[in-house]
């Protein structure tokens, strides 16, 4: 099911964020306020999770209301796919700043596992969206 697959991706993103929040707290405690770059990475991850989950819920609601959501699903596919890469980069930057040695390898594997998503042909999805915009000759979403 489309929604279950995307929800699983968002769940992995959430695990990544929670893993990093815990790591920052455990490693820096109250001194985490001095780790602005790491906190910025985590903030970006949280914002991406919010947008991904909110978008997914909005599209599902549209579909339940009987609307044609094929292009919206393309948008979700593209966003989840691109967001996974963004979250992976932010998470890896944070992990590299927090850990060394064996812990670094362990947390890197966790980041890779939690940000793994199904492959998407983004070129075709973007073309379908662009074709609709060209056909309508206006922003129609």
Given CA atoms 14, 122, 94, 92 in this order, what sign does their dihedral have? Answer: positive
pLDDT at res. 30: 82
Which residues have CB under 8 Å from 97's CB, separation 6+? 35, 37, 38
| Distance spanning both ends of the chain, measured CA to CA | 24
Which is the CATH superfamily of the domain at 2-136? Answer: Butyryl-CoA Dehydrogenase, subunit A, domain 3 (1.20.140.10)
Predicted confidence at residue 32, as pLDDT, reads: 81
| pLDDT tens per residue, range 70-102 | 999 999 999 999 999 999 999 999 999 999 999
User: Domain residue spans in the chain?
Assistant: 2-136
The 10s digit of each residue's pLDDT in 113-127 is 999 999 999 999 999
């Amino acid at each position: 099911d489309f929604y279950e697959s995307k929800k699983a991706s968002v769940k992995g993103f959430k695990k990544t964020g929670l893993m990093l929040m815990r790591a920052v707290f455990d490693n820096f405690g109250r001194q985490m306020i001095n780790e602005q770059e790491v906190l910025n990475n985590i903030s970006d991850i949280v914002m991406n999770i919010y947008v991904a989950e909110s978008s997914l819920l909005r599209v599902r609601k549209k579909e339940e209301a009987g609307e044609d959501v094929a292009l919206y699903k393309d948008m979700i596919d593209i966003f989840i796919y691109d967001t996974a890469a963004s979250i992976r980069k932010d998470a890896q930057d944070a992990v590299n700043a927090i850990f060394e040695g064996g812990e670094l390898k362990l947390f890197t594997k966790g980041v890779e596992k939690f940000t793994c998503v199904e492959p998407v042909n983004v070129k075709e999805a973007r073309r379908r969206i662009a074709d609709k915009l060209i056909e309508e000759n206006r922003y129609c979403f």
